[in-house]
Structures are given as C-alpha cells and as structure tokens.
Amino acid sequence: MLTRLFRQSDIPREYRANFLHLYLDMGWFGILSGSAVNFLAIYAARLGASALQIGMIGAASAVVNLLIAIPAGRWVEKRNTGQAVFWSSVFYRLGYALWIPLPWLFNAQGQIWALIVLTFLMAVPLTPLGVGFNALFAEAVPSDYRAHVAGVRNVVLSVAYIVSSSSAAIFWNRSRSQPATRSFLGLDFSARR
C-alpha cells in the first residue's frame, strides 16, 4: 500500500524532485509538531508556568496571525513566492535554535517568559510562511497532481507526528523518573516542578 501511495512513476520527471521536497518538508514538520511544539506546554508546566502563561504560549501564533495575515499576504504578493516562503521558513526555524540556551541563561520563570516571547516572535515569520505556502503549492504542483501530493503530504505528516509524539512521550516518561538531567531538542526537561 505504501509503495503505491509514494509511487511516482505516473508523475513526470520534472516534478518528482519538487514533490519529494514537499513530502520531506511535511515529514520534518510532523517531527517538529509531534515533539518540540507538542510538549512545549508540558515543559513550561514543569517549570512552574501558570495557566495564563501556558495559554499565552498556545495563543501567541494565533494572535500574531490574526494581526498580520493580510499584510503578510500583501508582502508575499510583492515578492518571488518561493524566496518569500524560503526565507520566512528559515527565520521561523531559527527560533527553535534560540530555545537551546534558555536553561543556561534563565531561571525557571525567566525561561517561561523567554518561551512566550520567542513563540510570539517566531509567529511573525510563520504567518507569511503559512500564507505564502498556499500560493507556492499552487505554483509548484500542477492541478492534475495536487490532490495526490496533498494526500501524500497528509500521510507523511500523520506518520511523522505519531512516531515523534510517541517517542517524545516515552522520553518524557523515562526522564521524569531518572535523576540524571536529560535534554530533548536542547531543552532541559528535568525541570523543577
């Protein structure tokens, strides 16, 4: 079944590399969503975050998206779509690297507020990325193949999300009971409760 799903023999050669990149990008997103993003609120809770602070982490992207989605669409419109999406994704993903030194730079409350601020700031490039990707997808994938490519991307996302969230949950359960400090994607997850 999987070989039939991922089979590209019916797809012209000139599209295969683009489609593969679209699948791999969704796989990366599934890993990221199922691990770091999915467990960010748990990490904050282990640090002692209040319900309001956890809500702020969860709502930051939606607030930014609400405020700048239309201007972001105009910004993307005036640029090469591929370049706009690429650089938006680079700046968005750089935000994850900024999570790494937080345990060494701040105490528990400082880490919580830094995560809130970083999540908010990361949402700024995420908005044009989300808006621009739809246009990029339409440009990169001919209409005859869109349903197939979108379907494969959803399957890849689901599998990556299931595997990464299950693996992260196993890691969290084990690290909780072990005295040694553990890290997951650069964050100290043996935080004080």
Q: How far apart are CA 132 and CA 112, in angstroms?
A: 30
Q: How confident is the model at residue 190 (pLDDT cuts 50, 70, 90)?
A: very low
Instruction: Give which of 65, 60, 62, 58 is closest to 39, Cα–Cα.
Output: 58
The whole-model pTM stands at 0.77
Over residues 13-42, the pLDDT tens digits come to: 888 888 888 899 899 888 888 888 878 888
Q: How far apart are CA 135 and CA 139, in angstroms?
A: 6
Over residues 145-171, the pLDDT tens digits come to: 999 899 999 999 999 999 988 888 887
The CATH number corresponding to 16-188 among 1.20.1250.20, 2.60.40.1180, 3.40.50.720, 1.10.3720.10 equals 1.20.1250.20
Over residues 55-106, the pLDDT tens digits come to: 999 999 999 999 999 999 999 999 999 899 999 999 998 998 999 899 999 9
Q: How confident is the model at residue 176 (pLDDT cuts 50, 70, 90)?
A: low
